[in-house]
Structure 1
């Protein structure tokens, strides 16, 4: 594995290396969820590129940019062992001063779910991902289903901006208790992680309720009540929405539904989701 830090370095390397390129963009603090994306790329593509860039424009002033977990040395070792070809490791000046600016088409999806709580977030995400696409020029890119809204927004951006690449969605990876893996899980103790697994169980409880045609408003309230039993946990939002438009639903028709949530465990914000189809 080679480590490249500028677009110029990458372009020079790429000219000497042909074939399909799988790309996994990350913020660092890698875990088995990230590694599942990397392994998928290694299986499908001739070349696998991973980027690590802690993008400040997707954090608001009151969020955890300064304290975000930094495990770079361990990340490099894991990526080397997996057989990644290139680690792209740019700094802020490279991405925001040297790499050409991009113009991202606005989307209604930006303002829903996560966008209500973090209105800055998807503008920052789409800007940096588009810039990285323009540098790496991948044929395939890999995103996890845990970040369900992000996945849909990036897919829409690829279509709208006509990027000639294929987005591969990869399943959420969970720990033995069902907690979705996240870099922010670093903030939790092992005991807290076990407690936080109630999030996934409560999402599955909603799916069971939907299968029995229970009242959607009541299912949301039951979810909030269950989470709030633990005094250290509180619900930012719970959504039962159309899987494509992310518009909240009141009646379950024959459609795929995204059940998603953000929950605070003390100051740590955890997100998770599952999908449900009314015909199942």
Structure 2
């Protein structure tokens, strides 16, 4: 966790070691697209930074974004998938690219290529002008060079930075078009009862974004920011740790998010919660 001046406030483990932020880096990728000339309404910009659940309105909006630039679902290069969550999957039996949680980002990447006259078939190539520009934006926002470039689950380039660098990214996105769009449309960033939806809805001005393998990052309007990576890749501890950090900063209204229920036979039998003193 860093203070408004960027100085470390709390560090558990090695916060300077390279790691893969996974989808927590999507807001930075969206910022890179804006620097390439992409112009989107706030709702679509939130979708560009999203790991959406693939609910009906998510899919509809991605389709409309593609159509606006004379693109179709076939132009997407993210893998086909089902929506996230049992409720969103109800009645859906066919995997589709547009239902994949990263389709908003991919649609925005394609739109950025169209307006710049860049090729769309190879937009995921790390050497493509789009991805080069996005990488430059990540470096600037993180305040450090990339440690490595790999491939994310959706097929897009995945940039390795430190947890401290990821916290800086979120700190610098507060008050920008991307940060404002995320907070204005948290449901589009995630979906019904998802972590980001709940946290951004509970804390005025906060922006947050989960990532696979236990990654979570957030920033407050006052400049405090934090990045979390669970070493074993588990997701359940993310929200309790985030709420613990926010409580440490004096943020109210997050106590209802501090526990994650553990189910047995479909019924609550326990909870994942932060151990008192764990952040001391």
| TM score, norm. by length of structure 2 | 0.29
Question: Given the two structures, how large is their TM-score scaled by the length of structure 1?
Answer: 0.29
Structure number with greater CO (CA < 8 Å, separation at least 6) is: 2
Higher strand share: 1
Larger C-alpha radius of gyration, 1 or 2?
A: 1
